Amino acid sequence: MSSADVHDTIFKALADSRRRAMLDLMKAGPMTTGELCNGFPELDRCTVMQHLGVLEEAGLLIAERRGRRRWNYFNPLPIKEIHDRWIHPHAVGAVTLLARLKRDLEETDVR
């Protein structure tokens, strides 16, 4: 897979608010699949497992089976990768744009 394809997969995995909420929950520490299901009572277990599969495919989740339990670890490194290569440079562009807007508005005020 090219790095463009890898980035597509990461963005797609993040493009669902429930999957983002799952990562937010796991940020505090690894969780069993059962604990994650309890956190999303509106979703059935099968749907939760599907979302976890999408996150795992994007490298955002690392799963480890211990006995009868599956522990899910959040891996933030793919997010850092799209942050550094793509999101951050454009976010800086936005800050520059906002600063210019502010200056232009202030100059308009003075006139």
> Measured from the CB atom, is 27 or 111 closer to a copy of itself?
27
Going by C-alpha positions, the residue among 53, 89, 92, 60 that lies closest to residue 76 is 60
Q: Which residues of this protein are in contact with a copy of itself, per CB under 8 A? A: 4-5, 7-8, 11-12, 14-17, 20, 23, 27, 76-77, 79-80, 82-84, 86-88, 90-91, 93-95, 97-98
**Rounded to the nearest whole angstrom, what is the least distance from the CB of residue 110 to a copy of itself in the complex?**
25
Token pair of 64, please? 């480890």
Considering the complex, what minimum distance in angstroms separates the CB of residue 83 from a copy of itself?
4
The encoded tokens of residue 10 equal: 């990461």
Residue 63 backbone zone (phi > 0: left; psi -120 to 50: alpha; other: beta): beta
Q: Which helix (H) or strand (E) holds 91?
A: helix 88-110
Comparison of 28 and 110: residue with beta carbon closer to a copy of itself: 28
